Structure 1
Amino acid sequence: MKQLLALTLISLSVLSCVSSKKYKLALAESDALRQSLTNCRQDLGSCQNTKDELGRTSDARIKELNQGLSSRNEKIKGLEEQIDFLKKNNNNLLERLSDLSVVSKAGAESIKKSLEAMNEKDRYIKDLTQAVSRKDSINLALVMNLKKSLGDLPSEDVNIEVRKGVVYVSLSDQMLFKSGSATINEKAAVTIEKIAKIINDQKDIDILIEGHTDNVPINTDCLADNWDLSTKRATTIARLLQRKYNVDPARITAGGRSEYLPKTSNDTEQGRRINRRTELIILPRLDQFFELASPAGQ
């Protein structure tokens, strides 16, 4: 009996231990499930908030897109209206162009003639510029050759310079002539010969010979006055160039300027000596420039 009781107590004790463990395990599992449920509810709430936020954002974006679409539709409508206007305007212009076709042909012909005239003037200006450039080159060569040929003469007897694009050779009267006379000195012939050679080598130039005096009246029965003296001295040089040195007389012009074109004042002896001179003015052939001065068609 005692043994049975002991076994019973032992069995109850074991059962009691087993039930206590299961309870604790179940309780722990229940707490875990409860916590999981709480977490799920929190996640559900967060998801719901995110959904609501996304819904609001989507609505705003959709509204914005709809407004943009409406604006673009208005622009498209405006562009279509502009296209219609341009089409109508283009048709009107085509009709006017058709009406003006005859006038346009006449205008085109007028423009063509104007362009041809402009081109002709351009060619004229180009030719004239080349002629002036060529004249300047000739002048430079003349000056160099003259100074080389006459460089041994005193500067008070010979002066070579370019004035306004023209070469001037000024020879003093004391080198060329006797006082108050139009008879040339023998030593002057050498100088004239050198000048004549340069003139003959350059075929496209002409020579203007000018006699100049001071303001002292001439006192001789052979000459009337300073006009007579200056002119006879110029023609003496002209005849010498023609007859002795074979310069074409068609290239020579001679004249007297008397006392009325002095280089300096006649108040001093030195001034009067400078003014008594004969100038050989070397000119480009004028016919070349006359041709250029009258372009074709004018």
Structure 2
Amino acid sequence: MKKILLLSASAMLALSSCVSKKQFTDLQAKQKETQDLLNSATVKLNSCLEDRATATARATALEEQVADLRKNNDNLTMLSSKGASNIEKTLESIKEKELKISRLQDALTQKDSVTLALVTSLKREVGINDPDIEVNVEKGVVFISIADKLLFQSGSYNVTSRAKEVLAKVAKVVNSKPNFECMVEGHTDSVPYSKGVLIDNWDLSVKRSTSIIRVLESLDVNPGQLIAAGRSSYVPLVDNDTAENRAKNRRTRIVVLPKIDQFYDMIEKEMKNLSAGN
């Protein structure tokens, strides 16, 4: 009997450590890199819009000059072929820059549109009237934050029946978007934890994450879209100085985001086009 218990404990310990910290860290780094690129693209776009306004004003003045010269045959002879060529080149350059700006605007707009559509879907499916469920956007990423009391019994990583109802709604949205990834983050309070084979709050946060992921898998969510992550007590919403605050910090955050590479490649391509045009 003791051997069976030891084998069971060892299996649970191995399961709780299955999270790839590198995968989670890489995703965070990729997210920051993409956000930085979006910020850079926005600055570049504003600069290009200013350049376009200046160039358009210049082109308008040149076109007016050409019109005046054509009205007067004597003055028309003053318009050299070189001058006419320069005007045509200026107009062509403006058209090319407008095309590149439009493509960059489309890339940024598409990213914003996808994010907005996802938030709308999640709020409709999950329900925003429950104060213990929050759907929001943070740094371009959509997330659902679910209070601990909806998901687990105190000090446990076994998912409650009510949690399965909420997760069924999340699974419906994720299943409708196969090109999205879903990262489940477990968060605890600062009270030390050590029960059974779990060593501390790191273990508990990760174990809760994998428990949620198993429920999502049972709801036919593609495992390739899922990422398990534990944050222990190191990303609190508020100070852990009261029971009420500790309850706020005990939560699970489900981050739903388009696969970053798609938008990264798209925006990077348009940034290169703008640089080449300059």
TM-score w.r.t. length of structure 1: 0.55
- For residue 142 of structure 1, the aligned residue among 108, 118, 127 is 118
Per-residue CA shift, 1:216-275, capped at 9, x if unaligned? 001312311000011111111122212x12212222111101000011111111111110
Secondary structure at the counterpart of residue 167 of structure 1:
strand
The offset of 1:122, in angstroms, is 6.4
Distance 1:258-1:122 versus aligned 2 partners, 3 A rule: farther
Matches within 5 A, 1:1-298: 123=100, 126-151=102-127, 154-155=130-131, 157-242=132-217, 244-292=218-266, 294-295=268-269
1:204 Cα shift? Answer: 2.8
Identity of aligned residues (%): 40
Please tell me the residue identity of whatever aligns with 2:257.
L
Cα contact 2:111–2:263 (8 A) shared by 1:
no
The question of whether the paired residues in 2 share the 8 Å contact of 1:175 and 1:185 is answered with yes
Secondary structure in 1 matching 2:146 = strand
| Higher RCO, 1 vs 2 (CA within 8 Å, ≥6 residues apart) | 2
Provide the aligned length of Structure 1 versus Structure 2. Answer: 184
**Which SS does the other structure have where 2:241 is aligned?**
coil
Q: Could you say what the CA RMSD is over the residues aligned between the two structures, in angstroms?
A: 2.9
Between structure 1 and structure 2, the one with the greater Rg is 1
Q: Deviations over 1:115-171 (max 9, x none)?
A: 8xx969964x6444323322322222222222222327630x211111122111001
What is the CA–CA distance in structure 2 between the aligned matches of 1:259 and 1:231, rounded to whole Å?
Answer: 12
Q: In 1, are the aligned partners of 2:107 and 2:267 still within 8 Å (CA)? A: no
Instruction: Give the superposition deviation at 1:179.
Output: 1.3
> Residue 29 of structure 2 aligns with which residue?
none
Q: Point out 4+ residue stretches in structure 1 off by more than 3 angstroms.
A: 118-123, 125-129
Equivalent position amino acid for 1:292 in 2: M
Partner amino acid, structure 1, of 2:228: A
TM-score (structure 2 length as normaliser):
0.58
Report the Cα distance in structure 2 between the residues aligned to 1:121 and 1:152, rounded to whole angstroms.
Answer: 41
Seen in structure 2, the aligned counterparts of structure 1 residues 292 and 181 have a Cα distance that, compared at 3 Å, is same
- SS of the equivalent of 1:217 reads coil
Alignment CA distance shift 1:187-1:293 (3 Å): same
Q: Output the amino acid matched with 2:232.
A: S
Say whether the 8 Å CA contact 2:128–2:135 is kept in structure 1: no
Matched position secondary structure for 1:221:
coil
SS in 2 for 1:192: helix
Asked if the contact 2:128–2:134 (Cα under 8 Å) also holds between the matched residues in 1, the reply is no
Q: Is the 2:209–2:252 Cα contact (8 Å) retained in structure 1?
A: yes
Task: Indicate the SS of the match to 2:184.
Answer: strand
Separation in 1, partners of 2:128, 2:266: 39
Give the unaligned 5+ runs of structure 2: 1-88
For 1:127 and 1:234, how far apart are their aligned partners in 2? Answer: 40
Q: Which amino acid aligns with 1:223?
A: L
Could you tell me which amino acid in structure 2 is paired with residue 173 of structure 1?
Answer: D
Letter of the structure 1 residue corresponding to residue 111 of structure 2? K
Which amino acid letter does the alignment assign opposite residue 176 of structure 2?
A: D
- How far, CA to CA, are the matches of 1:261 and 1:144 in structure 2? 26
